[in-house]
Amino acid sequence: KNQRIVSFGDVHGDITALRTFLITARVLDPESTNDNPRWSGGDTICVQTGDVLDRGDDELACFRLLATLSRQAKESGGALLLLYGNHESLNAAGLFQYANPGGNAEFESTIGSRIDYNYGSNRWRLQFAGNQPSRWASFEPGGLLAENMLGNMLVACVVGRTVFVHAGLQAVHLKGDEEFNGISKLNMEARDWILKDCLGGGIGASSPVWMRDYSQPNDKEPKNPYAKTMIGTLPLNVQRMVMGHTPQYKINAAMNGRAWRIDVGASQGVMGGTPEVLEI
């Protein structure tokens, strides 16, 4: 369709960095506000490669902005696609060690206080004692925001000749789903975990939201001697893989342009790097 394709990496609860990403990508009207954002990208396809959560104070504000723009993009014939990162996985598992005090306060004021009001009591917090009740009630499998927020995120997606994923893909991740090259299976498994009352999911060094085989060391060729073979044997008709997860000093490519690393550590909770956007 000759649509513009743009992508940017980890946000980590930094609304200022997110706005800069979106304005740089030319998909957010810079005159619009966070409460009333306006999609300006027309039929552009924009992919955010995961990790909106943790390390910052504005996680829910970031999600609200992205969700609003996603709806507007669809109405304009474009798309804003959100990928599932390892920090979304951590929150869905009740692991909040990377959450900021300011971020927890945002969940308390936005989520916890409303639950207190609706129940007329704060006794619901006892079941989450010692584990950030407002955050855990939001993201536990089947939780308040599990379906509307995490359940709408993708583990991976193919747009044109590019596959987008938070951390990386190996051939083993794509087995057992020949019709859709394994990607639909990955996305369904993640959604099932998020929506059902069970534990599991993408926690582990070799998973698509955790691996660093294509992205370490930063701004250099991967140190994993098998990385080129791994990316070359993916059963996908694509030219490149775009990923976030591992902070780089700037957007860069490795392995003759097969792997693009776009996490520039833009959040003040990470490196405070300059937001950059990849246009394909």
Half-sphere exposure of 2 (CA within 13 A, CB side): 0
Q: Are 236 and 184 in contact (CB under 8 A)?
A: no
User: Does 87 qualify as catalytic in the annotation?
Assistant: yes
Candidate list 12, 87, 166, 245, residue with the active-site label: 87
Residue ranges of E strands in 11-86: 45-48, 79-82
Token pair listed for 211: 């691996």
CB under 8 Å to 114, separation ≥6 — which residues? none
Could you tell me what percentage of the chain is helix, strand and coil, using 3-state DSSP and rounding each to the nearest 5? 35, 15, 55
Is residue 242 a contact partner of residue 278, using CB atoms and an 8 Å limit? Answer: yes
Query: Which residues, at least 6 apart from 144, have a Cβ–Cβ distance to it below 8 Å?
Result: 111, 137, 138
Cα separation, 249 vs 183, whole angstroms: 29
Tokens standing for 222?
């991967």
> Any idea which residues carry the catalytic annotation?
87
